[in-house]
Amino acid sequence: MMKENTLSYAIRLACAGGLLAAGVSIPAFAQTEPSIQRVEITGSSLRRTANETALPVTVLGRADIEKSGVQTTEELLGQISTVSSAGGQVNGGQSGLTTYGKSAVSLRGLGSDKTLVLVNGRRLANFAGGATSGADVNINAIPLSAIERVEVLQDGASGVYGSDAIAGVVNFILRKDFKGIELSGLHGQPTEGGGAKQNKIGLVAGFGDYDNDRFSVVVSAAFEKEGNLLGAARDYAKSDTNLPYYAGGATETGRIEGTWDFPGTATAFDAGKNTRSATNPYGISGTGYGNPSAKLGQCAEIGMAPRSGLGFGSGAPNNALSTPNCTFDTGPFVSLVPNRKFTGGTMSGRFKVNENNELYASGLFSKNEFTNPIQPAPLRQAFYAGNTRFIGSGVEPALLIHPSNPNYKIAADYLNSVGLGAMVGHTLAVSQRTFLLGSRTTNDIAKQHQLVLGGKGMIGNLNYDVAYVHNKSKTDGNVIDGFASIFELSKVLNNPATHWNPWAPLGQQSPEVAKLIDATKYSGPTIAAKSKNEGIDAKVDGTLMTLPAGEVGIAAGLQARDESFDLTPAPATLTGDVIGLGGAITSVHAKRSVWALFAETEVPFTKQLTGNLAVRRDSYSDFGKTTNYKASVRYQPMESVVARASVGSGFRAPSLTALYAPQQVNTSEQFTDPQFPGNGQIQVTSIAGGNPNLKPEESDQYSIGLVLAPSKSFTASFDWYNIKVDGLIAAPSAQQIVSGYRRGAAGFDQLVEVLPSGEISKIFQFNANVNSVKTQGMDVDLRFRENLMGGKFTANLNGTWVKKFDLVNTDGEIEDSVGTIVRPDGNPLVASPTGVILKWKHNLSVGYQTGPWTATLTQRYYKGYRTANDLDGNPHHVKGQDQYDLVASWSGWRSLKLSVGVRNLFDKQPPLFIHNGSQFQSGYDVYQYDPRGRFAYVSASYKF
């Protein structure tokens, strides 16, 4: 045992208070100095107390979590100021994206793939989803009710932990010291209504006394259910058009895409075939030749909205021709909050072999089920790209209306009226929004398992810990409504005998045609994915010698594990034949072996100055070996001051999917072509996939910090950080490629194919080591606590200020990415495919506790930032926003605790937001605002 002096205790309390925006209520300082047992702290293999470390480690205790008002692990981490929306993922952001319900955390905005997530100090399996997953952990696989504390290391630690720890480490410590049975429940819902109700039930049970019974076992279980919320339920999100700020461009029903003059000859095809040319001047155009319903002023009758802009931008027959169009308003149909069901459980057991040795086991299981309804699927010629079922079939890869169809007259009259009479008499390709199929509804089930079996204790003067670790993440994707076989649907509608009407009100067809369409529907699996890692780790730590200034600590160990990722598409998705899923999904089967040796020492040079050095050697079977280090010093010249600093190197190995995902044909995400802005948001053929020649990302970092405790009531810490990462692995977005090509940036001409008309028909989105980034900033933590009026008063402020986030993009330009999601010219930043690097973000909470009553009021604030330009090309800025949360609890009868809380107490609406193509929702930033608005809840717990 060792004792802490007053400053050390203050520092430890400041760390233990956490960085939450939710009522952290820390007791006033004790009058005697408590004894604190040494334990392993995140960021080191040596045992010490939290105050001893030279690294900025934040510890969020169970009490802090309960007072925060958060209901999921995602919400918990989302309120930490060093967590950035850039490079992360949230549940609400998944609508329209194939994320399979993943939530991921990004420290410093460097990306979730560079933030290491641990449970009880050990890795989880990376999330298994689509072919672009496998690089990060789904944090919502960890049940919030099972967490005893969270330790957040806000400093690079590849030298200690290996890959993924460039930005820092989030270590979830699960509950293992508990006796009795505790039941808990919660009900919450938005006060505005519309859905998104939440219900939770939790159980924690502990048996045995380790000291007296020689064993202890703690188990927990959690059951959660959350309803969905659609855009139609919120005024700011119910339309994807808000002039003059933004306008939707989603695929409409009935747009004439061009003449189809090559019947029966489709073999290999993509969006660049059957295009306008000298022999076929009215061939397929990405922007089309207008919509007959728009000309008649009947967009609303077909479930669309009027849209201005060119029918086609350039090329034959008339560059200046403008044709009327409709557009589909996705706003009401987009899911803001998905349906979610969660079931999870944990187990922790210890058995005392003797006074110095024990055996232990721990396990985690969780099941997240997401059911997500979104708008009916679009279908146009570009979306046929990569669908192998059409090759040699004689079925045309487009939706066609033949001159023999009685409804062809609608098209003929329109074409003659706008000067396109030369197209009359040709078979026409048209676009559709498939209303008769219903809303697309996916059902994705993600499971996470962890099993640890080990032993630890003492041999001589050394502590040892040896364990076998097994981790698995498994995802099963399914579609349950609103989907169909593109091939079968095209086969039915393209039959000249099927007199379908592309301009029927709301897509309604005759009973005979409707029956044929219904027969093409597909419901069933999409993917089965599995990510595994298993292996052993062993380490020892202890005292090497004793110097006049104190003990010299040492630690050493080894780790060995096998990693694998397997993705098996369902037959229908393997061919790219399911409408609305974005193209073919190709199987992935990859594996690697990893081993590592590491050592660490800590030397007290004087009573005031301590130094630490860690070195790690990692070997990957598929790309080689790397050595990294971490060095730090801690200096305490007086009782009220601590200075600390660290320097280190880091690396991140390419994920298995980044290396080995097959290169395949798909449809790109939406983008705007700067050369044809009137075309709105479009999509083209995309060739994307892995790159087996990738090299690891490498980093260098340093940090300098100062902790002050001028009194027992007040502590303050300031930590400056500087991180540089080279060789960033990225698959450039469609918008980045197109914008780079149009401005003539070097190398981008290799990533596009262009039609004779000048329009882009194909892009290449392969993974590559293409960028570097440097970020600097400061973390601030101020804490005050004092006895007041017979109770305990606390006030805490935690914030992060980012001075620099400079990313060198593919063409060598430096992008200043702080406080903006776009470049100065309005094009998207490479650094912000999701979220924004906020200039300043803080959480300020005040709490008061008297007797059985506790109340905490929290302010969550972020500084405003620039969004995409409005439709007139003017820069647009989001205003800074503060929201307030209030939590109150009472525990005045036995072991009963009752709580009520309100998040977003004043029901603040989101500031107007213009996205850069990184989300499907409109009107608000999905990464900064909770669309539930004011959310009220009640909870209760009782311990037996």
Task: Choose among 333, 415, 423: nearest CA to 378.
Answer: 333
pLDDT value, residue 263: 59
Q: What is the DSSP letter of 540?
A: E
* Residue 586, domain member (yes or no): yes
609 vs 135, which has greater pLDDT? 609
Q: Which of 472, 494, 520 finishes a domain?
A: 520
Asked if residue 793 has pLDDT above 90, the reply is yes
Token reading at 904: 């977003």
Average pLDDT for 913-928: 86
Domain shared by 82 and 24, yes or no: yes
Average pLDDT for 192-196: 91
Task: Choose among 707, 703, 701: nearest CA to 720.
Answer: 703
Token reading at 439: 């809303």
Domain shared by 503 and 568, yes or no: no
Question: Which CATH number fits the domain that encloses residue 532?
Answer: 2.40.170.20
Among 357-366, 551-560, 641-650, 910-919, name the one with the lowest average pLDDT. Answer: 910-919
* Residue 419, domain member (yes or no): yes
pLDDT in tens, 494-527: 999 999 999 999 889 999 999 999 999 999 999 9
| Amino acid identity at 40 | E
SS3 content of the chain, % helix, strand, coil (to 5): 15, 45, 40
pLDDT value, residue 316: 44
Domain shared by 367 and 390, yes or no: no
CA distance 466 to 764: 46
pLDDT in tens, 859-908: 999 999 999 999 888 999 999 999 999 999 999 898 999 999 999 999 99
357 vs 73, which has greater pLDDT? 357
pLDDT value, residue 31: 31
Token reading at 182: 């505790």
761 vs 622, which has greater pLDDT? 622
Task: Choose among 901, 873, 876: nearest CA to 889.
Answer: 901
Contact (CB, 8 A) for 597 and 616? yes
pLDDT in tens, 75-99: 888 778 888 877 777 665 555 556 7
529 vs 758, which has greater pLDDT? 529
pLDDT in tens, 204-228: 999 999 889 999 999 999 999 999 9
Phi-psi bin for 824: left (phi > 0), alpha (psi -120 to 50), beta? alpha
* Residue 241, domain member (yes or no): no
Asked if residue 13 has pLDDT above 80, the reply is no
Asked if residue 24 has pLDDT above 60, the reply is no
CA distance 613 to 633: 9
pLDDT value, residue 23: 30
Domain shared by 732 and 834, yes or no: yes
pLDDT value, residue 602: 93
Domain shared by 258 and 179, yes or no: no
pLDDT value, residue 161: 85
Task: Choose among 107, 53, 20: nearest CA to 777.
Answer: 107
pTM: 0.87
CA distance 876 to 872: 11
Average pLDDT, the chain: 85
Q: Which of 501, 520, 539 finishes a domain?
A: 520
Number of domains in the chain: 2
Per-residue confidence band for 917, with pLDDT thresholds at 50, 70 and 90:
confident
Per-residue confidence band for 164, with pLDDT thresholds at 50, 70 and 90:
confident
CA distance 602 to 553: 5
Domain shared by 938 and 802, yes or no: yes
Per-residue confidence band for 112, with pLDDT thresholds at 50, 70 and 90:
confident
Average pLDDT for 147-173: 87
Q: Which of 505, 520, 535 finishes a domain?
A: 520
Which domain range does residue 322 map to?
254-327+381-430+485-520
Domain shared by 714 and 785, yes or no: yes
Average pLDDT for 769-781: 91
Contact (CB, 8 A) for 659 and 135? no
Determine which helix (DSSP H) or strand (DSSP E) holds 854, and give its type and residue range: strand 853-862
* Residue 207, domain member (yes or no): yes
CA distance 343 to 346: 11
For 507-522, give the DSSP string: G---HHHHHHHHTTB-
Domain shared by 592 and 701, yes or no: yes
pLDDT value, residue 678: 62
Domain shared by 388 and 358, yes or no: no
* Residue 497, domain member (yes or no): yes
* CA angle centred on 221, ends 218 and 223, rounded to 5°: 165
CA distance 864 to 928: 11
pLDDT in tens, 635-684: 999 989 999 999 999 989 898 888 888 777 776 777 778 887 766 667 77
CA distance 870 to 913: 10
CA distance 292 to 290: 7
* Residue 571, domain member (yes or no): yes
* Residue 239, domain member (yes or no): no
Task: Choose among 48, 26, 727, 679: nearest CA to 314.
Answer: 679
pLDDT value, residue 690: 84
Instruction: Return the percentage of the chain with pLDDT > 90, whole number.
Output: 53
Domain shared by 33 and 120, yes or no: yes
What are φ and ψ of residue 677, in 5° steps? -65, -25
Domain shared by 565 and 454, yes or no: yes
* Residue 248, domain member (yes or no): no
- What residue has token string 């049975």? 181
Residue 123: alpha-carbon gap to chain centroid: 18
Cα separation values, 267 from 333, 391, 754, Å: 36, 5, 21
Strand-strand pairing, 685-689 and 760-766? parallel
How would you label 132-168 residue by residue, b for 16+ Cβ within 10 Å and e otherwise?
A: bbbbbbbbbbbbbbbbbbbbbbbbbbbbbbbbbbbbb
Cα separation values, 551 from 356, 603, 939, Å: 21, 7, 48
Task: Choose among 266, 455, 269, 435: nearest CA to 350.
Answer: 455
Average pLDDT for 599-623: 93
Contact (CB, 8 A) for 807 and 829? yes
pLDDT in tens, 694-707: 889 999 999 999 99
Domain shared by 309 and 410, yes or no: yes
